[in-house]
Structure 1
Amino acid sequence: MSRCVLLGVLAASLGFAVAPGRAQEQEIIRIGLILPMTGPEAATGEQIDNAVRLYLEQNGDTIDGRKIEIVLRDDRAVPDETRQAAKELIADDKVALLAGFGTSPAAAIAAPLATEAAIPQVVMGAGTSLITDRSPFIVRSGGTLAQSAATLAHWAAGHELKKVAILIADYAPGNDALAVFGRHFRAAGGEIAGEWKAPLSEPDFAPLLEQIKEAAADALFVFVPTRQSRLFMEQFRASGLKIQVIGTGELTDDDALANMGEDMLGVITAHFYSAAHPSQENRNFVAAYRAAYGDRPGYMAVAGYDGMHLICQALRKTRGRTDGAALLAAMKGMAWESPRGPVEIDPQTREVIQNIYLRKVAVERGENRNIEFATVAHVKDPDRDEGGHR
């Protein structure tokens, strides 16, 4: 007789009931967190990782008797390393979910592995709309670039910015921003004065800005990585251009905005999160984040915080069960009050439905801040139809 059978017989003979699933309930729930912790996208990884751990510190790391363990892997935003990390997390660490993903290529390359393993993949960072089409197990907790760019396009066209020039960094997110903003701005009756692209590596914006002067535009839509925002605005001010600079939240991310100087003042952006958002939930979040990490959170932090909330609430709904289909069903349609405002997971697309805020950079309490001046409520990904398809 095997030892397991013998123990079972002994327990029964002594009158003990062996509760179904008790062994599973005591197992650790491992969550694989794949982020760029080093390399050019390290700020993204740091923000998300900080917020995930802050959420667990505030809300506890045990659900129905099962402890949550975060298994962090650094992919350096290199897709091949993302794939390898996902494989190891699934096969070796037996994770119940994958989460993180600072870039769209990272999220896309892990998607087939999440599908094969039938486990949820919570995309906290990547903002390309098509990502959720890559796997039926992907749920997004951050937002899409299209939500912000399209909202900004319609606002601009309705506020006397009838002719807009576009300048982007020449890489996938920049080209997405160009396409989405241009399409929606034209649809709203606006005119694109021209399109300019700067190399992603070691850009010099000055020659392009000289060309843009000739376009006689009312405004300049800009999409560059946050790490290049300060350089761009310094060269913009030096060029003598007097038109309005507009962009999505990447241009004025709170993670870096405080250190960007006065050249950023007056820039108008559209996005889902500002550390200056005037709600009690956000004030509490910002205070806790600053106390823990010595800085204010950016939008990647709130995406990580909400992603962890989504995961934990789904686990509570399933009473700690980690069946992938059950967790996915628990996430669909979930709604809560985030530090950014009300959010909801669209049950058809698995995208976040959220407010998009128009903001203007101004000095408040001695720091550059994104001050909200208008809200567009309940924004879905604008490039999907009613059936949830592109």
Structure 2
Amino acid sequence: MKLSAVAAALGAVLIAGAAQAETIKVGFISTFSGPAAFSGDYAKKGVELFLKQNPDAFGEHEVEIIERDSTGPNPEVAKRLAQELIVQDDVDVIMGIQFSNNAFAILDVANEAEVPVIIFNAATSSITEASPYVVRVSRTMWQASYPLGSYAHDELGLTKVATFYADYAPGKDASQAFTEGFEKAGGEIVDQIPLPFPQTPDFTPFLQRIKASGADGVFAFMPSGPYSTAFVKTYLNLGLKDSVKLVGPGDISPPAELDNMGEGIKDAIITFHYSSAVPSEANEAFTKAWNEAYPDTPVDAFGVQAYDGMAALAEAIRKTGGDFTAEEFVDSLKGWEYESARGPIRIDPETRDVVGNQYVLTIVENEDGKLVEKLIDTIPDVKDPWKELHSSK
């Protein structure tokens, strides 16, 4: 079998199989334009790399991947695209989805039509409780931010921290998770500062609040890209770096933005589910293949998640024989185990969320003068803490 076409935006990818095999149509909704277009580009590259490396992954089945652009965190657009994919294109599966508000809108449609969904990124914990037909292969904000709370207190010695977050569902999750972990360890949250979203604000007045709060640390969550870069530059320019330690999930420090962020991101402490610094044969092989395929694009979690999402799609098609209801598709992935570039992952059969390692990282300058991630510690086999602490299900 071979990859017979790779479309541009709004195009289709067809994996050719046996002549008589029924085509399985997959709607791929991601962000391919606007300020967050880089995330969709990474996801698309992850999909393409999986197809290139695994041409026989779908057995005798043809898989047609139909791309649609959500344009950013725009739930009305995302919902319309899901409706069109299901009604007009007759897709069997929807995958992708960068933003949580888009995910909730898409799941409203998927629930009504009983179409399964594989989430590549959207990280609000309650997403998997919004539909019985969704499986998430990425992570939740709680998986990174809750253990970072205790780490910041116990290992970094921080005692007073302000939380600083983009004011939408993942930001609220991240702030609440860090707060609970930090306070449980004995720390004090001295301020909680929500930020306008999706527009990038002037961070100056918000960071001046932190300066005046007496905090010795700031926990920050915001979308990867220009938004997080503007924050880090303002943090440095206002002189906070010398007295207020920066910690947060890896969303604030995407590899492609590190050089743009510059001195402000150095020595920050990050928790994340993937880094090119993860020492494993699977990651070494993935990084080598990625760099050969995309030499001008640093490897990133968005690409790894999409690659893993394609592996999940292939597993579900294999187990169901390509003929499935939404419930059968999801059931086929409960308990699925996979050796990802980010380490061993599995799908929790109870929550349909991924379970995997979280990595404690810092940003350093390498011998070539480039900013890179350095692995400090590994927190193994992390389930979503929110499900245990707050879920009503």
Verify same fold: TM over 0.5.
yes
Q: In structure 1, which of residues 371, 381, 385 is the aligned counterpart of residue 384 of structure 2?
A: 381
For the pair 1:37 / 2:32, whether they are aligned, the reply is yes
Which residue is equivalent to 2:65?
A: 70
Q: In structure 2, which of residues 294, 313, 318 is the aligned counterpart of residue 311 of structure 1?
A: 313
Which residue is equivalent to 1:47?
A: 42
Which residue is equivalent to 1:267?
A: 268
For the pair 1:164 / 2:167, whether they are aligned, the reply is no
Deviations 1:30-74 (A, max 9, x none): 111011111222122111111011101110156231122211111
For the pair 1:122 / 2:125, whether they are aligned, the reply is no
Deviates more, 1:218-227 or 1:192-201: 192-201
Letter of the aligned partner of 2:204 in structure 1? A
For the pair 1:232 / 2:231, whether they are aligned, the reply is yes
Which residue is equivalent to 1:12?
A: none
Aligned-CA RMSD value: 2.2
CA apart distance, 1:299: 1.4
Aligned-residue identity in percent: 35
- Equivalent-residue separation in structure 2 for 1:210 and 1:116 (angstroms): 47
Is the Cα–Cα contact under 8 Å of residues 25 and 64 in structure 1 kept in the other structure? no
- Equivalent-residue separation in structure 1 for 2:20 and 2:322 (angstroms): 7
Letter of the aligned partner of 1:220 in structure 2? V
Which residue is equivalent to 1:246?
A: 247
User: Any gaps of 5 or more consecutive residues in structure 1?
Assistant: 1-22
Is the Cα–Cα contact under 8 Å of residues 141 and 303 in structure 1 kept in the other structure? yes
Letter of the aligned partner of 2:53 in structure 1? Q
SS in 2 for 1:384: helix
Letter of the aligned partner of 1:245 in structure 2? L
Which residue is equivalent to 2:89?
A: 93
SS in 1 for 2:346: strand
Is the Cα–Cα contact under 8 Å of residues 61 and 67 in structure 1 kept in the other structure? no
Letter of the aligned partner of 2:50 in structure 1? Y
SS in 2 for 1:26: coil
Which residue is equivalent to 1:218?
A: 216
Q: 1:203 to 1:281 in 2, by over 3 A?
A: same
SS in 2 for 1:222: strand
CA apart distance, 1:231: 2.2
- Equivalent-residue separation in structure 2 for 1:176 and 1:249 (angstroms): 14
Which residue is equivalent to 2:293?
A: 292
Deviates more, 1:77-86 or 1:200-209: 200-209
Deviations 1:185-223 (A, max 9, x none): 112221112223343434222233333223222211112
Which residue is equivalent to 1:355?
A: 357
- Equivalent-residue separation in structure 2 for 1:224 and 1:30 (angstroms): 33
CA apart distance, 1:300: 1.3
Deviations 1:120-151 (A, max 9, x none): 10011111001111110000011101111101
- Equivalent-residue separation in structure 1 for 2:67 and 2:222 (angstroms): 28
Deviations 1:272-298 (A, max 9, x none): 011222222112212222222221222
Is the Cα–Cα contact under 8 Å of residues 334 and 345 in structure 1 kept in the other structure? yes
Q: Write the mapping of 1:139-218 to structure 2, written as runs, cut at 5 A.
A: 139-159=135-155, 160-200=157-197, 201-218=199-216
Letter of the aligned partner of 1:266 in structure 2? D
For the pair 1:334 / 2:303, whether they are aligned, the reply is no
- Equivalent-residue separation in structure 2 for 1:104 and 1:24 (angstroms): 38
Q: TM-score, structure 1 length as denominator?
A: 0.89
User: Any gaps of 5 or more consecutive residues in structure 2?
Assistant: 1-17
Letter of the aligned partner of 1:232 in structure 2? F
Is the Cα–Cα contact under 8 Å of residues 132 and 327 in structure 2 kept in the other structure? no
Letter of the aligned partner of 1:212 in structure 2? I
For the pair 1:57 / 2:41, whether they are aligned, the reply is no
Deviations 1:99-131 (A, max 9, x none): 011111111111132223323100111110011
Letter of the aligned partner of 2:93 in structure 1? L
Which residue is equivalent to 2:258?
A: 257
- Equivalent-residue separation in structure 1 for 2:94 and 2:306 (angstroms): 13
